[in-house]
Structure 1
Amino acid sequence: MYQALVSPFLEFSFMQRALLGALLLSVSSCPVGVFLMLRRMSLAGDAMAHAILPGAAIGFLLFGLEIVPMTVGGLIAGVVVALGAGAVSRFTLQKEDASMAAFYLISLALGVLIVSMRGSSVDLMQVLFGTVLALNDEALTLIGSICAITLVTLFVVWRGLIAECLDPLFLRSVSRIGTPVHFAFLGLVVLNLVGGFQALGTLLSVGLMMLPAAAARFWSIRVGPMCLLAVAIGMIASVAGLLLSYHFALPSGPAIILSAGAIYLASILFGSRGVLAERVRHRHRTA
């Protein structure tokens, strides 16, 4: 048991770095995923994950696989897409989900095209799916900084976020904090997707954000416990995915996301608000 579960993280520094990066991402992105889910913006998060690709690709085109240029480019692209989709939905007849989907598809195609102009298929796979087993000090510093910023921001805007999840129109009618809270939250989404991009790539970074949050929903109805459960699930999925990757020579990013997906499927069935529990409660009510 020790050799299977503990030894890989003690003997190999790349496994230690991967574990630290994945745990930091879980602490940072899983609570953001809970609020995305409660605000019914889960698919918007997926669209934003792809929206950062052109900026990261331009950074790659100019500087190669350097973290800082790709991060800055991803942040700029994410902000541009978020503002562009919001402007289209505000000033035209098109709804925000449709405009976000359009921007997401354009961004994804443009990013793949830019990477392909200079890089090989290996570079493209690294940008799309990440390299959690190759995280260096610079990447860990970036992810740790994003984690700290996220936790501080959530502490400051916690009540505003909960109020906006319940009734955003009421919040805007009685307080002026609605709009700042909304944009602060969108900033956190982009930041965490950029952090996840370093480890899991643009296609999978949203997975660690949303799957633990969706699983936690089947265990709790309170926001605080739901966030803590999501973080715990993200950590468990990270450890399980890295171990699966190590022992069975699987791609580490997909292994982590599939581990989170397995917990999500189990939560649907066995969660305190899952299918089986609801059937038991229904039988007691009809008995």
Structure 2
Amino acid sequence: MYDLLIGPFVEFEFMRRALVGTVALSLGGAPIGVFLMLRRMSLMGDAMAHAILPGAAVGYLVFGLALIPMTAGGIVAGFAVALAAGLAARFTAMKEDASLAAFYLISLALGVIIVSTRGSNVDLFRVLFGSVLALDDPTLVMIAAIATVTLLALALLWRPLMLDCVDPGFLRSVSGSGTPVHLVFLGLVVLNLVAGFHALGTLLAVGLMMLPAIAARFWGRNVTQIAAIAIGFGIVSGYTGLVLSYNMSSPSGPSIILMAGVIYLVSLAFGPRGGLVPTYWPARHREA
């Protein structure tokens, strides 16, 4: 049992680095995922994850797999797509979700083409699916810094964010902080997706943000509990996914997201807050 569950992290430094990276991603990304879920913007996270690809690809094209250029490019591209989608929705008849979908598909295709012009299939695979087992010190510091900034920002803006989820109109009527809070929140979304991109790639970066948050919804009584449970689910997903990857020789990033999916399915079936079994089994039992 020791060799199966603990040995890989004691013996190999790259496994410890990967575990630290997934813990940091869970600390920052899971609470953001909870607020995206409450705002009914879950699919926006997926769209924004793809939207960062062209900027990161340009950074890769010019500087190679360098941390700062790819990070800066991803942040710029994410904000650019969000701004373009918002302007298109505001000044045309297009709805925001459709506008965002159009821009993220364009961004995804453009990013893949940019990477393909210089890199190999291995580089493209790494950009799309990440390489959590290859995290170096600068990347870990960057991911930890984003998680720290996210937690500090959430601590300062927790109540306005809560109110903006429940009644944004009331927040705008009693305070002028509605728009700034929303912009800061979008900034945190982009930052955490860029952090996830370095570990899990553009296709899976949103997985560790949204799946634990959605699963936690079946267990928590309030937003604070849901956010805490989501962080725990994210950490468990990272650990079990790395163990699965090591012992089954499967890709690490997809293994982590797969374990997050398993936690979601278990929560969907047995979660006490709206799960299938607690909701429908007592009713069938009373009918019998």
Please classify the TM superposition score into its range, dividing by the shorter chain length. over 0.9
- Are 1:136 and 2:150 an aligned pair? no
> Shift in Å at residue 285 of structure 1?
8.3
Instruction: Report matched runs for 1:82-101 at 5 Å.
Output: 82-101=82-101
Q: Distance in 2 between matches of 1:36 and 1:125?
A: 28
Aligned residue number for residue 268 of structure 2: 268
- How far residue 166 of structure 1 moved from its aligned partner, in angstroms, is 0.5
Alpha-carbon distance in structure 2 between the residues aligned to 1:13 and 1:143: 17
Cα distance in structure 2, aligned partners of 1:262 and 1:254: 12
Give the whole-Å Cα distance in 2 for the aligned partners of 1:115 and 1:42. Answer: 27
CA distance in 1, matches of 2:285, 2:155: 40
Deviations 1:62-110 (A, max 9, x none): 0001111000000000010011111111111111000000100000000
SS in 1 for 2:206: helix
1:117 alignment partner in structure 2:
117
Matched, 1:277 2:278: yes
| Cα distance, 1:281–1:166 mapped onto 2, change above 3 Å | farther
CA-atom RMSD, angstroms?
Answer: 1.2
Residue 151 (structure 1) aligns with: 151
The structural deviation recorded for 1:284 is 8.2
**1:188-267 to 2 correspondence within 5 Å?**
188-267=188-267
Give the corresponding residue for 2:62: 62
Name the aligned partner's letter for residue 85 of structure 2. A
1:175-227 per-position Cα deviation (integer Å, ceiling 9, x unaligned):
11110110000000000000000000000000000000000011123000000
Aligned residue type for 1:88: A
Gap regions ≥5 residues in structure 2: none
For these two proteins, the number of residue pairs brought into alignment is: 287
Q: Give the Cα separation in 2 of the matches to 1:79 and 1:57.
A: 15
Structure 1: runs of 5+ lacking an equivalent: none
What one-letter code is carried by the residue in structure 2 that aligns with 1:63? Answer: F
CA offsets, 1:20-70, max 9 Å, x none? 001110111000000000000000110000000000000000000111100
Deviation of 1:174 (Å): 1.8
Deviation per residue, 1:238-279 (Å, 9 max, x gap): 000000110110000000000000000000001112011112
Give TM-score, length-normalised by structure 1. Answer: 0.98
Q: What whole-Å deviation, never above 9, does each CA across 1:135-177 have from its counterpart, x for those lacking one? A: 0001001001001100000001100110011011221122111
Letter in 2 for 1:86: G
Farther off after superposition, 164-173 or 28-37: 164-173
The one-letter code sitting in structure 1 at the alignment partner of 2:247 is H
Secondary structure at the counterpart of residue 86 of structure 1: helix
Structure-1 residue corresponding to 2:179: 179
Matches within 5 A, 1:3-22: 3-22=3-22
Q: Which moved more, 1:259-268 or 1:87-96?
A: 87-96
Identity among equivalent pairs (%): 62
Q: Matches of 2:285 and 2:219 in 1, distance apart? A: 20
What amino acid sits opposite 1:162 in the alignment?
A: M
User: For residue 35 of structure 1, what is the aligned residue in structure 2?
Assistant: 35
Q: How does 1:64-79 map to 2 (within 5 A)?
A: 64-79=64-79
Match in the other structure for 1:2: 2
Q: 2:241 corresponds to which letter in structure 1?
A: G
Given residue 100 of structure 1, which amino acid in structure 2 is its aligned partner?
L
Displacement after TM superposition at 1:282 (Å): 4.0
By how many angstroms is 1:283 displaced? Answer: 5.6
TM-score, normalised via structure 2 length: 0.97
CA distance in 1, matches of 2:62, 2:244: 35
Pair 1:282–1:162, CA change in 2 (3 A): farther
Counterparts of 1:281 and 1:188, CA distance in 2: 41
